[in-house]
Structure 1
């Protein structure tokens, strides 16, 4: 049986390491499910998700020239299509549509480059002068400030 990228197969977990699980595929070949491809959420310990001998459905995500096969359990799972109640991608969402009190941000977005640069320079100078004031008083050990 030829193993092609994108195909979904049934396999059996034959070994577990700290970086993933080895899965035996039909035809006797073995592939690796990296720990990041086990579940949709963060997997700290793969042993909480898989055991040796488990039957799993995997999707082939890559086949390298040297014969290594990359597999994914999370991509093999059928996901329901997104419903209209879920949030649209940010590129399709209207900007500031239902935000209350977002006037400050709106004002900043309408600034010209020169206005932004002037505000940045002023903030930067204020921070530097404040930093100098606080560090000068902590330097030296005895006597008054040198000046």
Structure 2
């Protein structure tokens, strides 16, 4: 079978390094870079893969020198379905109507102060080059 970009094949992990894993597919070895192992951040590749693991990989590219780039995360696409959160506005209104005006005002002020302090902290850290002043 000839390897072509876009093929999805089964392979065996033959070696693991800090930057990725080498996978044997059809008698040839390709590299799965650490960024192509999972949809989430991978700090240590050894927590996701072991040598001799069977993995499904997608051929991303084959360069002129014959180097094969592979991806595990593209071979196993996860379909994420985002649905808006259902909010019961009537119950929210009922909760708010049970509070007195003074209680609602104090709640608003408290939440506003928290938001303003977060914004100020963020601005200070940007001004000081990423480090918060003490």
TM-score by length of 2: 0.60
1:47 paired to 2:46: yes
Structure 1 unmatched runs, 5+: 88-147
Which residue of structure 2 lines up, in the alignment, with residue 71 of structure 1?
A: 70
Which residue of structure 2 lines up, in the alignment, with residue 10 of structure 1?
A: 10
Give the direction of change, closer, same or farther, for the CA distance of 1:84–1:15 in structure 2 (3 Å limit).
Answer: closer
TM-score by length of 1: 0.55
Q: How far, CA to CA, are the matches of 2:60 and 2:45 in structure 1?
A: 19
Structure 2 unmatched runs, 5+: 86-134
Q: How far, CA to CA, are the matches of 2:84 and 2:78 in structure 1?
A: 14
Q: How far, CA to CA, are the matches of 1:79 and 1:4 in structure 2?
A: 23
Higher helix share: 2
Structure 1 segments, 4+ long, off by >6 Å, are none
Q: Which has the larger radius of gyration?
A: 1
Q: How far, CA to CA, are the matches of 1:31 and 1:86 in structure 2?
A: 40
RMSD of Structure 2 on Structure 1 (CA): 1.6
SS of match in other structure, 1:44? coil
Which residue of structure 1 lines up, in the alignment, with residue 83 of structure 2?
A: 85
Which residue of structure 1 lines up, in the alignment, with residue 21 of structure 2?
A: 21
Q: How far, CA to CA, are the matches of 1:86 and 1:79 in structure 2?
A: 19
Aligned length: 85
Deviation at 1:84, TM superposition (A): 6.5
